[in-house]
Amino acid sequence: MILLLANGIDASFFQKRSKISSNALLASAENHSTSFSPYTHAKVQLTRQQLMNAQGRGIKSVLLSPDKSKIYSLNLEGLSVYEYDRKSRKLNRELRFKPTQGKGYNYQTRQWYSSMQEKPVEGCFSHDGKYLWVSLHNAGGIVAWNLHMVEKQIKQPIKEGYVVYSDQTRQLTQLKFIETGTTPKYISLAPEGDRLFVSNWHSNTISVIDISSDDPNDWKKIKDLKTKAVPRGIVASPSAKKLFSTNMASNSIMVRDMETYAVDTILTGYRQPRHLLEDEYYLYATLSSAEKLIKINKESLELSASCQTADDPRTIAFSEDKSLIFCTCYGDNKLEIYRAYDLEKVGEVKSYGGPVGVATYQEDNHVEVWVCNYKYASISIFDFDIVY
Residues 99-134 pLDDT 10s: 999 999 999 999 999 999 999 999 999 999 999 999
Would you say residue 146 has pLDDT above 50?
yes
Cα-based torsion angle of the residue sequence 333, 236, 290, 248 in order, rounded to the nearest 10 degrees: 100
Q: Is the pLDDT of residue 184 over 80?
A: yes
Strand order in the sheet with 273-278: 273-278, 282-287, 292-297, 303-308
Q: Is 32 exposed, middle or buried (0-12, 13-18, 19+ CB in 10 A)?
A: middle
**Residues contacting residue 129 through CB under 8 Å, at least 6 positions apart:** 65, 66, 67, 147
Total number of domains constituting the chain: 1
Neighbour count for residue 297 (Cβ, 10 Å): 17
- CA atoms of 92 and 58, how far apart (whole Å): 19
pLDDT score at 7: 30
Does residue 288 sit in helix, strand or coil?
coil
Query: What is the spatial distance between Cα 348 and Cα 327, in angstroms, rounded to a whole number?
Result: 9
Reported as a single tens digit per residue, the pLDDT across 290-321 is 999 999 999 999 999 999 999 999 999 999 99
Residue 38: band (very low, low, confident or very high) from pLDDT cuts 50, 70, 90: low
Nearest to 105 by CA among 200, 223, 198: 200
Residue 216 pLDDT more than 80?
Answer: yes
Chain Cα centroid distance, residue 338: 17
Is residue 33 scored above 80 in pLDDT? no
| Closest by CA position to 248, among listed 230, 261, 224 | 230
- Determine the Cα–Cα distance for residues 357 and 350; give it in Å rounded to an integer: 14
pLDDT value of residue 150? 79
The pLDDT score that the predictor gives to residue 152 is 73
The SS3 call for residue 40 is helix
pLDDT at 29 over 70: no
207 vs 151, higher pLDDT: 207
- Mean pLDDT, rounded, of the chain: 90
pLDDT value at position 32?
41
Quote the pLDDT of residue 298.
97
Contact partners, residue 314, CB within 8 Å, separation at least 6: 274, 275, 286, 288, 327, 328, 329, 330, 355, 356, 357
pLDDT higher than 60, residue 28: no
Which distant-in-sequence residues (6+ apart) come within 8 Å of 132 by Cβ? Answer: 63, 72, 81, 123, 124, 125, 144, 145, 147
What residue spans of the chain are helical by DSSP H? 11-18, 22-31, 33-36
Residues 91-102, mean pLDDT to the nearest whole number: 97
Global pTM? Answer: 0.90
pLDDT of residue 39: 80
What pLDDT score does 2 carry?
38
Gyration radius of the chain's alpha carbons? 20
Query: Residue 35 — pLDDT band, cuts 50, 70, 90?
Result: very low
For the residues 88-94, what does the mean pLDDT come to? 96
HSE-up of residue 159 (Cα within 13 Å, Cβ side): 34
Amino acid 349: pLDDT? 98
C-alpha dihedral sign at 100, 94, 122, 134: positive
3-state helix, strand, coil in the chain (%, to 5): 5, 55, 40
Average pLDDT over residues 11-24: 35
| pLDDT tens sequence across 336-387 | 999 999 999 999 999 999 999 999 999 999 999 999 999 999 999 999 999 9
Encode pLDDT of 233-290 as tens digits.
Answer: 999 999 999 999 999 999 999 999 999 999 999 999 999 999 999 999 999 999 999 9
Here the CATH number for the domain that contains residue 206 is 2.130.10.10
Residue-number span of the structural domain to which 12 is assigned: 2-387
